[in-house]
Amino acid sequence: MDELMAAELDIAAGWVREAERVVAFTGAGISTDSGIPDFRGPNGVWTKNPAAEKAATLQHYLADPEVRRAAWQNRLRSSTWSAEPNLGHRALVELERQGRLMAVVTQNVDGLHQAAGHDPANVIEVHGTMRYTRCWGCNDRRPMEDLLERVRAGEDDPSCDRCGGIVKSDTISFGQNLVPEVIEAAMVAAERCDVLIAAGSSLSVFPAANVVPRAKSAGARVIIVNGQPTNMDRFADALLIGQLGDILPALCGVTA
């Protein structure tokens, strides 16, 4: 880390120390140190395979059994199941334990914030979670592991055992409406915070990324931490480009 970045990090860490209502907005970049690839980074899933992004739509999933079969195999092999929270996740948990982190608004569906020790009530999952499934017919919600057991037993496209409907992960796919109450909770948190830490997100997916200008317009200091520049760097009071596993612990005052 160069001297200029170190100085900016020191200033930003001071803001966090003095803050009473911190909100963290996190994207896939916070989980890459846990072995889960991001989407739009240099080695991202969609950077390497743009066709995969087009296929990840609700319309394709509901209409094509082959898409669903492939999706179930991908879920079965997902690196999420063996992933552990990393230093970045744990740094944010420490802020919560100190009583200064009021919410984590996350685009991630991996559940690692809760696994790290956050109060689940403080985690706002704007794109849902892959730890659960939901039936597209009757809205029945089950732990993902229940369905994966059926896939391991030989079912290639398990249907709802209540109504026979199509089952998918309880995540928001392209073409699927977000849950208005969840987005509203994210925006309210942004409006109430005095410091917003945006970590590991390209800040290019809306409406979730609107938490940054919303917090800024409400008077919060905005700290952006990412491996690459983002689409909202212009809103940053502090811009910290580098490894999240190094920057977040220092930002949150966590010593090794």
CATH of the domain at 145: 3.30.1600.10
How far is Cα 234 from Cα 223, in angstroms, rounded to an integer? 11
How far is Cα 133 from Cα 165, in angstroms, rounded to an integer? 12
Residues assigned a catalytic role: 127
pLDDT for the residue numbered 52: 62
* Co-location of 189 and 222 in the same domain: yes
* Co-location of 239 and 190 in the same domain: yes
pLDDT for the residue numbered 41: 60
* Co-location of 144 and 93 in the same domain: no
How far is Cα 228 from Cα 198, in angstroms, rounded to an integer? 13
Tally of domains within the chain: 2
How far is Cα 226 from Cα 211, in angstroms, rounded to an integer? 16
Considering the chain, what percentage of its residues have pLDDT values greater than 70? Answer: 92
* Co-location of 99 and 15 in the same domain: yes
* Co-location of 95 and 65 in the same domain: no
Q: Provide the 10 A C-beta neighbour count for residue 11.
A: 13
Asked which of 171, 196, 229 is the last residue of a domain, the reply is: 171
Domain that residue 75 falls in: 40-82+130-171
Asked which of 171, 202, 224 is the last residue of a domain, the reply is: 171
* Co-location of 152 and 246 in the same domain: no
* Co-location of 184 and 243 in the same domain: yes
Compute the average pLDDT of residues 185-204.
97
* Co-location of 77 and 88 in the same domain: no
* Co-location of 141 and 108 in the same domain: no
Judge whether residue 137 has pLDDT over 90: yes
* Co-location of 103 and 74 in the same domain: no
Judge whether residue 85 has pLDDT over 80: yes
Judge whether residue 51 has pLDDT over 60: no
Judge whether residue 54 has pLDDT over 90: no
* Co-location of 206 and 251 in the same domain: yes
* Co-location of 247 and 148 in the same domain: no
Judge whether residue 192 has pLDDT over 60: yes
Q: Does the predicted model carry a pTM greater than 0.75?
A: yes
Asked which of 138, 171, 204 is the last residue of a domain, the reply is: 171
Q: Rounded to a whole number, what is the distance in angstroms from the first to the last CA of the chain?
A: 17
Report the sign of the C-alpha dihedral through residues 103, 27, 72, 173, in that order: positive
We report the CATH number of the domain holding residue 235 as: 3.40.50.1220
